[in-house]
Amino acid sequence: MHFNPYGGVAAELAVRLVNASDDDDLGRLLADAGYKPIGVIDARQDAELRRWAGELDAVFRDPSVELLNGLLAKTTGRPYISVHDGRTPHLHYAEETAPIDERVKAYTAFGLATLFCEAPDRIGLCDRDGCDIVFVDTSRNGKRRFCTTQCSTRVHVAEHRRRTVRADR
């Protein structure tokens, strides 16, 4: 499924932030996600982005208008149309000169809000007990329940074993 660049790519960046471990270098994570320009992420910004990831996580666990409006209100976002680097006109949600944490917060909040408005059932949390990984469902049919095929396989094998044991009794 194709999402607009800010709903899809920004929502995927939110996924990366939420799923990041404490050891992950957030500057590298942003660069690997294609987020530019990054600049230097200092200790305060790193801490703020990790705190923000916790707020984003709440949206994946229980998406709602209230949560998303709350996130949007916490950003310094001021949407505007940008034309740079030969690209076609596109939206930016924070000034390019704003600190990286402010830009990422606005980008991810608006991205998740856009995704929620377009397809709220595409915001996902893995269905396997004990797995806290979040995802954006980009499957064709929109029925994704697990973060990876590994989690899906574990659940289905366990279900099969339970059925087999019951049938043997």
Q: Is residue 143 part of a domain?
A: no
The backbone torsions φ and ψ at residue 10, rounded to the nearest 5 degrees and listed phi first, read: -70, -40
Q: Kindly state the tokens that stand for 105.
A: 């917060």
Q: Is residue 152 part of a domain?
A: no
**CA 109/CA 59 separation, integer angstroms:** 10
116-147 pLDDT, tens digit each: 999 999 999 999 999 999 999 988 888 889 99
**CA 75/CA 23 separation, integer angstroms:** 25
Q: SS3 for 107?
A: helix
Q: Is residue 167 part of a domain?
A: no
pTM of the model: 0.85
Q: CATH number of the domain that 64 lies in? A: 1.10.3300.10
42-86 pLDDT, tens digit each: 999 999 999 999 999 999 999 999 999 999 999 988 899 988 888
User: From the centroid of its chain, how far is CA 122?
Assistant: 11
Q: Which domain holds residue 48?
A: 5-121
- Strand extents, DSSP E, 21-154: 80-82, 90-92, 123-125, 134-136
